[in-house]
Amino acid sequence: MLTVLLTMIATLATATNDPTTEIDAFNQNYLALHQKMDTPAILALWADDGVDLMPGENPLVGRPAITEWLNAVLAKMPGIKVTKQEMTFHDIRVTGDWATEWATEHQVAQSPDGKVFDGYGKMSLILHRMPSGEWKVQQEMWNDMPKP
């Protein structure tokens, strides 16, 4: 009974926080996990039925499909390390349990043989607040962009 009560209080406390502040905290965590290349934790930020729309790819529907795709990409780049990851989030809009935003990013990664990838991109995110109060990525669309 105490566990149920504490869970209800925690959920109500989360639900009454400023949603923009919650999204800012989500974004900081999202960035930190990418900087650390913590793939399991990044994937945990996705809704079970999330959709990832990557350029030149079929839609990736559901966390299992996103996980399979990401693991296949990483398998082609063994030992690669992110040396720089920057994301700037813009135009956060929250309506109830849904939020939209877009971001620009800059990523530098280095392979064990010294090759450096230095890329820029932009993405659009739709986030959904779960019944637990936790925000998850429901949809992401990403594309590259020229160096600003």
Domains, the chain, in order of start with CATH, read 2-144 (3.10.450.50)
What's the CA gap between 43 and 71, in Å, rounded?
Answer: 11
Asked if residue 99 lies in contact with residue 23, where contact means CB atoms within 8 angstroms, the answer is yes
Q: Is the pLDDT of residue 93 over 90?
A: yes
Q: What does the pLDDT read at residue 17?
A: 75
Residues 16, 108: contact at Cβ < 8 Å?
Answer: no
When pLDDT is cut at 50, 70 and 90, the band that residue 8 belongs to is very low
Tokens of 47: 């809704």
Query: By C-alpha distance, which of 41, 80, 46, 44 is closest to 61?
Result: 46
pTM: 0.83
Statement: residue 82 has pLDDT above 50? yes
The Cβ of residue 52 has, within 10 Å, a number of other Cβ atoms equal to 21
Mean of all residue pLDDT scores within the chain: 89
**Distances, alpha carbon 138 to alpha carbons 52, 79, 108, 130, in Å:** 8, 29, 26, 10
DSSP letter assigned to residue 45: T
Report whether pLDDT(68) > 60.
yes
**Averaged pLDDT for residues 143-147:** 93
Tens digit of each residue's pLDDT (9 = 90 or more) over 39-67: 999 999 999 999 999 999 999 999 999 99
Three-state DSSP class for residue 82: strand
